[in-house]
Amino acid sequence: MKKYMKRSEVWTYGIGLFGIALLTGWMPDYSYTFFNDFAFKGTGIDSARIMNILPAVTGVAGIVGAACELIIGILVDRTRTKWGKIRPWIGFGIIPLAIVAMLVFIAPSTNSYLGAVIWMFVIYSLYTAVSCAVESPANCFGACCTPNPTERSDAISIASIFRSVGQSGGMVVLPVVGFIMKAAMGEQQFKTAEGQGLDLMLSTGVCVLGLVLFGMIFFTNNRERVPYTSERVSLRESLKFVFTNKNLLMVSLTKFTGFGRGVYSTVSLYIAVYMLGSKDLKIGLLLPMGVGTVVGMLIVKKLLKIWDTRKVYIVCCLYGSASLALLYIVSRVIGFNPDVLMIPFLIINFFVGLQHGNTNLTPNVMIADCVDEIEWKTGKRQEGLCYAGYGFFSKVAAALTKSFGPALVIWSGYVQSQDMNIAYATQSDDTLNKLLLIYTLIPAIFVIGQMLPILFYDLTGKKKERITKELAERRALAAEKQEEA
C-alpha cells in the first residue's frame, strides 16, 4: 500500500509528543510539591491548611480535566480550518499552555489564605483545561497522519515511545537545572534558592521551552493526510459514538477493568525499603521498569507487524500477568532478605516493565482503527472524540487508582514509625507479604482484567482490511467528485 508520510514526519510527530509529554509529565507531581512546600512559604499562611486543601485542588482539576477531554474532543471534530482539524489545536494551543504552565509556578505574594486557595484552584484548573486542549488533540493526531494503517501504526509506535520518554524527562531536567544553578550561584546559595522552590520554577521554564520548541517542529513539518468529513455532528450523536461503538468502548473499558494495575507505584517506596534494603533503591525499581517500558514498546512495534492488535494486546497482558506472578513467587521462595532478594527482584522487575510497552502503545493503534470503523459505518470521522473518550476513561480510572492504592496500604496493616530516629518501622511478615501482593499479584489480576474487554474487540483481520479498502475507495471517489465540481 502507498506510503503517504515523509520520513521526517514520523520523527517530528514523535518529537512533538515528546515536547508535550515533557511538560504534562512534569506538571502534576512538581506543581503539587510547589503548592505544598514553597508557594506560600514565609508568608505567614498556615502550611497545614494549604496541605489539607490540596486534595480538593487536584480533585477539582481532575474533574475539569475529565470534562475537558470530552469537550475538546467534540470541538476538535467540529474544527474545519486550512491547517486541518487537529494541528491548529496543537500549534496555536501551545502558546497559552506555555504561559499558563509557567504561571502555575509563579505564586502571588499574598498572606491571605483565601487568596492563596482561590489562586491554586483557578490556576491549576486552568492549566488542566489548557493542557487538555493540546494533549488530547496531539494524542489523536496519529489517526489522521496517513490513511495507510500500517504506516499509521508505525508512526503511532514511534511517537508513543517518544512520548513515554518525554513523560520522564522532568526527572532529568530538575538535576540538570540544579547542577547549573549550583555552578552559577554556589552550593549553599543554591540550597537557599531550592528552599524557595526557585529550581522548580526554572525547571518548569525549561520544560515549557521544550514544549514550544519541539511542538513547533511538529507543527511546521507534519500534515493531516486523512480528509475529514464536512458535516457537523451533534453533541448527542458525538457522545453516542463514545459509549455505543462496541470496539471503541471495549478499548476504553480496558482502563476501567484494569484500573488497579497502577497500585504498585503506591508501595514502590516500601518495596525498596523492605525488600531491597534502602529507600534510595526506589529509583532502582522505577528506572529498570522505565527502560523495560521503552524496550517493551519496541517489541510491541515489531509484534504489531506480525500479529493483529487484539492478539498482541492479549498476549502481552498474559505475559504481564505471568511476569508479575513470577516476581511474587520468586520473592516468596527467596524470602524477605534484601541481601539475597535484591538482584533477582530487580532483574524480574525489568521484565515486568516490558508489559507497559503494550498498554502505552496498542490502545492508540486500536483507537485509530476505531476512528476508521466509525467513519466506515457512519460516514463521519471523529478522531477528536474517539481519543477524548479514551482519555476520559483514563482520567476516571486514574482517580480510582489514586484512592485504591492508599486503601490497600491500610489493608496491608502497615505500621508507621513513631520513633523520631527510625524512618520506617519493622513490619510483620504478613504485612510484608501483603505489600508484595500489592506490588505483584493484585496488579496481575487487574492486568487480566484489562485484557477481558479486548476479547470482544473484533476490528482485526479481514474486517479491518475491508474497512481500509472501502474507505480508500470512498475517499478516491469523493476526491474525483470534488475535482469535477
Q: What residues line the site for other proteins (CB under 8 A)?
A: 2-7, 82-84, 91, 94-95, 98-99, 102-103, 106, 109, 185-189, 191-193, 196, 198, 201-202, 205, 208-209, 212-213, 216-217, 219-220, 223-225, 419, 421-422, 424-426
Q: Nearest approach, Cβ of 193 to other proteins (angstroms)? A: 6
CA 269 to chain CA centroid, Å, is 21
CB 367 within 8 A of CB 248: yes
Nearer to other proteins, 82 or 236 (CB): 82
Closest CA to 61 of 134, 130, 126, 131: 126
Q: Which is nearer to other proteins, 158 or 250 (by Cβ)? A: 158
The helix/strand/coil state of 475 is: helix
Residue 56 or 122 having the CB closest to other proteins: 122
Contact 137, 143 (CB under 8 A): no
CB of 426 to other proteins, least distance (A): 6
Least distance to other proteins from the beta carbon of 275, Å? 15
Minimum distance between the CB of residue 288 and other proteins, rounded to whole angstroms? 26
Q: Which is nearer to other proteins, 3 or 466 (CB)?
A: 3
- Nearest to residue 213, comparing CAs of 415, 452, 473, 18? 18
81 vs 403, beta carbon nearer other proteins: 81
Which residue type occupies 446? F
> CB 144 → other proteins: shortest distance, Å?
11
Closest approach, Cβ 478 to other proteins, in A, equals 14
Rounded to 5°, the CA angle 122-127-132 comes to 130
Question: Of 60 and 102, which CB lies nearer to other proteins in the complex structure?
Answer: 102
CA gap 355, 302 in Å, rounded = 14
**Measured CA distances, 94 to 5, 77, 99, 104, 189 (Å):** 23, 19, 9, 15, 34
Report the nearest approach of other proteins to the CB of residue 348 (Å): 26
Cα–Cα distance, 37 to 54 (Å, whole number): 11
- Between 256 and 336, name the residue whose CB sits nearer to other proteins: 336
Nearest 10 degrees: Cα torsion 450, 452, 453, 457: 120
